[in-house]
Structure 1
Amino acid sequence: MSGDEANTDVTRPRDLIGYGRRVPRVVWPDDAKVAVNFVINYEEGSEHYERLGDRSTDRMAELNWYLPSPHRDFAMEAVYEYGSRAGIWRLLNIFGDYSVPVTFFATGMALERNREVAAAIGELGHEPCSHGYRWSEPWHMSREEEAEQIQRAIESIRETTGTRPVGWYWRYSSTPWTRQLLVDDGGFLYDSETYNDDLPYFTDVSGHRHLVIPYTQTYNDTRFAVAEGGFGSPTDFYDYMRRGLDELHREGEAGFPKMMTVGLHARLAGQAARANAVREFIEYALDKGDVWFARRDAIANWWIDHSADWS
């Protein structure tokens, strides 16, 4: 069965209920009211690119134009190069200024092409989480092909960073069997293949208790690169993050602490004005207090070790 055929499979049921009225009274370290996780999506050099055999070159950038095939789009390439050459270091310097650990949703190919970034992830205390080997479309894969891609990404990230990733996030939608493959591998603490909650939760995968830590497209700088519903300025981005933290913090003070994820890309948030909004948000959260800045694997381990006490 091909990936295209399999993606119509309905064996993974939807869950529209979740915690419902029974939201757990989470206790984060130091009684924090909100756990904040920054994710840097490090993909530069692994994006869709005709010269790598893809159907088209990626257009998720800030340019208002693109060159049609078969012309090489040097302008689009340059946007991604900025992230790898300059933006990533600006973000890492900012997080270093405040000793904030982050999670890298990193593709294996991107880290192979910039090993200095790969080395910095471990040296600076950040988490490598697998974002696949490159920008793949798993729904076109068979189960066996997806399993091979998962293993290729694991080995690539382990080789470049010195650490095996324990989390997984495809850039695009997962397949009905992605979670089963991650569980079968046995080395994953969690996946982030959904956007459906403000808290981690366990799900059953063939009788195995598997942890899901939802991701976000809401507090995400990709909205600088979309026309409708996007951020118009760094002030918009900061205000959106601040308002989200304020409301989640209020819920935490009422006895129901939550988690907040902020998604960043070096080619977008790595630009100076936007990076300043990230800095301002960190300072705001520190001034507010009772915020736990944490890597995703730290949140996973805390949840696994303590969640039984909250149920």
Structure 2
Amino acid sequence: MNDRRDFKGYFGAEPAPCWPDGKQLAVSFVVNVEEGAELSIGDGDPRNESTYEIREEVEGAPDPCMETHFAYGTRQGYARIAGAFDSYGVKATFSTCGRVAERSPWLMRDIVARGHEVSCHGWLWQRHAHMTRTEEEAIIERTHAAIKAACGVAPVGWHTRSAPSVNTRDLLIGRGDFLYDSDVYDDDIPRMAGGHVILPYAFDTNDMRFSPGGGFVQARDFSDYVIGAFDRLLAEGEGAARMMSIGLHLRLIGRPGRIGGLEDVLAHICAHDDVWIAPRREIAACWAEAQRAEA
């Protein structure tokens, strides 16, 4: 059987650590910026977004209630998250939808001014699985252009909401201006597709689990789980390459009852000298250079 899926990965031959200054673990904080790009009839979309802290969807009419749930992220959540990063000198990747960049350029300017990376997260907060190749190509171009215009810096990374299409990676590679994508969840180690870097992402070490049924309720639920994962990966990083992704959302971890969980995670990780915390563009560039050196 010519299986299109790779179930083996690096099994039995994991690459050695290659992070700067002999660090054992690369840690990537990813803040998903989707506020204003969620589906909204009020914004001319065909339906309203239904995924949030409530399980309810208004059909056939604008939903001002859901719009304000999302707007909390930019009005309050962002400042708390950015302030926490500043307190610990941490630089993150803000994975941003194109429509957010277009309608909130002030936010993009502030993110860049603080030294963070802004990467692409689709035009809208939507899956790409059913898109035609032509449709998706146009969306990738529109997203890239909007973020470049708002930030003054061209993005080099891409991450689709959950399900990319079978064409997504080929389209990104074909453009030549994307260094990496994060559309995989199957490893703790990056890999290459030719000269293109694939950085794994994670839904477990992610504040999305504050959503109903996700398992996180108190701030310590988030910090306990993430710190446990960090400690394990750090130990494994003594002998093999390891990367950790910590996923955040402005409207989730940015709430006053949850932000302490992020602060506890930052305090724990930053107390370790053998960890490299970096934006994904730097992790991808480091990995690509290490693979070229071994070739």
TM-score, normalising length: structure 2: 0.94
1:118-133 alignment runs, 5 A limit: 118-133=108-123
> Which one of the candidate residues 19, 41, 49 is aligned to 1:50?
41
CA distance in structure 2 between the aligned counterparts of 1:198 and 1:297, rounded to whole angstroms: 17
CA distance in structure 1 between the aligned counterparts of 2:217 and 2:111, rounded to whole angstroms: 30
1:91-130 alignment runs, 5 A limit: 91-130=81-120
Q: Could you tell me whether the CA contact under 8 Å between 1:24 and 1:310 is conserved in 2?
A: no
Q: Which residue of 2 aligns with 1:177?
A: 167
Q: Deviations over 1:259-311 (max 9, x none)?
A: 10000000001112321111111111122331111000000111111235568
The count of aligned residue pairs is 294
CA distance in structure 1 between the aligned counterparts of 2:37 and 2:167, rounded to whole angstroms: 24
Q: 1:285 to 1:184 in 2, by over 3 A?
A: same
Q: Could you tell me whether the CA contact under 8 Å between 1:26 and 1:307 is conserved in 2?
A: no
CA distance in structure 2 between the aligned counterparts of 1:39 and 1:251, rounded to whole angstroms: 22
> Which one of the candidate residues 209, 216, 221 is aligned to 2:202?
216
Q: How many Å apart are 1:71 and its aligned residue? A: 4.1
Q: Could you tell me whether the CA contact under 8 Å between 1:42 and 1:105 is conserved in 2?
A: yes
CA distance in structure 1 between the aligned counterparts of 2:60 and 2:168, rounded to whole angstroms: 34
Q: Deviations over 1:23-59 (max 9, x none)?
A: 0111211211111100000010010112234443212
CA distance in structure 1 between the aligned counterparts of 2:235 and 2:137, rounded to whole angstroms: 42
CA distance in structure 2 between the aligned counterparts of 1:303 and 1:289, rounded to whole angstroms: 20
Q: Deviations over 1:58-99 (max 9, x none)?
A: 122223x53532343322211101001110111011101111
Q: How many Å apart are 1:250 and its aligned residue? A: 0.9
Q: Could you tell me whether the CA contact under 8 Å between 2:88 and 2:270 is conserved in 1?
A: no
Report SS of the residue matched to 1:125.
coil
Q: How many Å apart are 1:167 and its aligned residue? A: 0.7
Please tell me the residue identity of whatever aligns with 1:13: R
2:22 maps to 1:31: yes
Q: Could you tell me whether the CA contact under 8 Å between 1:31 and 1:290 is conserved in 2?
A: yes
Q: Could you tell me whether the CA contact under 8 Å between 2:78 and 2:250 is conserved in 1?
A: yes
CA distance in structure 1 between the aligned counterparts of 2:99 and 2:273, rounded to whole angstroms: 38
Q: Which residue of 2 aligns with 1:306?
A: 290
Q: How many Å apart are 1:179 and its aligned residue? A: 1.1
2:262 maps to 1:268: no
TM-score, normalising length: structure 1: 0.90
CA distance in structure 1 between the aligned counterparts of 2:122 and 2:65, rounded to whole angstroms: 25
> Which one of the candidate residues 62, 72, 80 is aligned to 2:53?
62
> Which one of the candidate residues 232, 255, 274 is aligned to 1:247?
232
Q: Deviations over 1:143-180 (max 9, x none)?
A: 11111110000100000011111011111311111111
CA distance in structure 2 between the aligned counterparts of 1:156 and 1:210, rounded to whole angstroms: 22
After superposition, the CA RMSD in angstroms is 1.8
Q: Deviations over 1:245-270 (max 9, x none)?
A: 110011113x1241100000000011
